[in-house]
Amino acid sequence: MAHQHDEPGVPNQAAVFINSQLWRSVHLAAPPLSGATLSPQQLAALAPAAGGNVDAQFQNYLSFANDVSRACVEATEALREDRQISAVDRTWLRTRLEALSRRIQASVPPHGPANPAQADAVRVAVERIGPTLRHDVEVYPTRPNFSRSIHEFIILTLEGLHGQLVHRNLDEAFLWTDVVGILYIDIDMRAWYRFCRNVTWNSLYYDDIAHHLDDMRDDLRRIQSRRQAFQRQLSLAKSEFVPVGRRSGMAF
């Protein structure tokens, strides 16, 4: 049987956003899955169980959180010196990356000996960063080698941003697709994990989004505006390479 979720009544404005094309193109880890019908078993395989004992799992997640913190610091420091994007966008992006780092650090669960509740929290924390990115499931349904875990996507994106800023070769397509895709990924991945495990995700996701709704709405407008400006630049650049005769419809 195909994977299904009953859509609850709309509890708040968050529900308006999550099925929009713009939202899905920004929140690359957010459910639901589109364009592919997977069985519950296939979906569960996208979110593998955490291996090892609870101590190893805790160290795994702690290392992830510390890696994110380090990579965010490196990227935000590089943004201070950057002149490839506007000062307004640099400030905005630094603010969002700093907030992401704080939330990831705050998500490290407490860990004590022989505490079943804490052990469960540690296991779930690790399993939330292990699933295949929803975007990759949709784009590469038959090519799993092209797919990234959420953990990989976050770290590779932050390191890629830092490298491009340092070398002054910032790719705007990367900035306004991949980089913006990690800004709230800690929120998106909680819902995606629940979706893959075939449990109710909608209402909890709406509640999470509601805490950031104004910022998210403003961010969507900003991202859409910057993407449109970037596309106009690309179109202009292409037209400059077209011979004048062809531009006017004449042969040359």
pLDDT in tens, 200-251: 999 999 999 999 999 999 999 999 999 999 999 888 877 665 554 544 443 3
Choose between 198 and 244: higher pLDDT: 198
Would you say residue 74 has pLDDT above 70?
yes
The pLDDT of residue 251:
38
The pLDDT of residue 201:
94
Would you say residue 122 has pLDDT above 80?
yes
Q: How far is CA 30 from the centre of its chain?
A: 8
Contact 88, 79 (CB under 8 A): no
Average pLDDT of the residues in 147-168: 98
Contact 161, 8 (CB under 8 A): no
Q: Where are the domains of the chain?
A: 14-32+46-242
Average pLDDT of the residues in 70-98: 98
Strand, coil or helix: what is 132? strand
In the chain, the N- to C-terminal Cα span, in Å, equals 60
Choose between 155 and 145: higher pLDDT: 155
Give the model confidence (pLDDT) of 45-54 as tens digits. Answer: 999 999 999 9
Per-residue buried b or exposed e for 220-251, using 16+ beta carbons within 10 Å of the residue's own CB:
bebbeebbeeeeeeeeeeeeeeeeeeeeeeee
> Could you tell me which residues are beta bridge partners of residue 149?
132
For residue 199, the surrounding DSSP H or E stretch is none
Residue for token pair 């998210």: 216
CA distances from 188 to 23, 74, 241, 248 (A): 11, 23, 41, 48
Give CA–CA dist 71/67, Å, rounded. 6
Contacts of 176 (CB under 8 A, 6+ apart): 223, 226, 227, 230
Q: In the predicted model, what is the mean pLDDT of the chain?
A: 90
